[in-house]
A and B are shown apart, each in its own frame.
Chain A
């Protein structure tokens, strides 16, 4: 189950962060997302020299915490997408697919002429769309 998704701007500032838990760990998820930026930085600064990872937007599993797994995605404008999930075994393809949809939604949201680049995304439509994507991900990975 996806517990949190986040968009982080290129100054490492949160643009959008949404948790999907009933519990009380929203603040913890903030920490998890924030810490994952260290891994993104490391991956970006020391890119893997070999093979298909070059020029890849999908960063893969960033790090496992005690209860979560964190995945990352980096757009060409240095905007980071972070996904926090509780699923232990999760297919890479599913995550990639999720990020692709997430990215598309983000592009649509920032294409809004009333959106000021670099500011937080407050669009309700975007939030709804994200929660739909998250739900769909839960169904596909469960099934």
Chain B
């Protein structure tokens, strides 16, 4: 296993049982994701992009094969261990932001910190820093339900980075946004990757979005069919 690899997938299999049928999404999927990479995953609908992302994020488990993260095997962890693992290592960004409507921006960002041992003042500082990074310091007390889509996604980004995870997983982070706003968000991800050393894996349908990544892989019928390296 290379020193650089953050993730290593070995002969990963994934299938779903639907009634009497078993649908196989992946059989024998192999890949490595390096530290500091910004990887875009593209592919037609139903090709298994979200399923792959879920397995990387530890919310879903493969039916076979191995997934190694940071030198340790993680696909066979128990559910409660995986939950802890997610809290420590992964930041999630969703297409529809998935913020808590009854909490203001700052409290939404603070949410992952409830899973840490940080003191109240340390948490406050982290939240302020994360909000500053996404340019929303002046909106800390605003309710997210009264914000634009772009602003909500920035709050979501702040939430994803506030506990300083190694890896950020995004599923269609710009799927609900117009071009200009999408570009803002993508630039922000790029900044996190370049200047803050975050490893990012992003699923997208949009080639323009993928162009912000360092690499793009195309997934079809459970296989990588094509790989582009940009910068």
Q: Does B associate with A? A: no
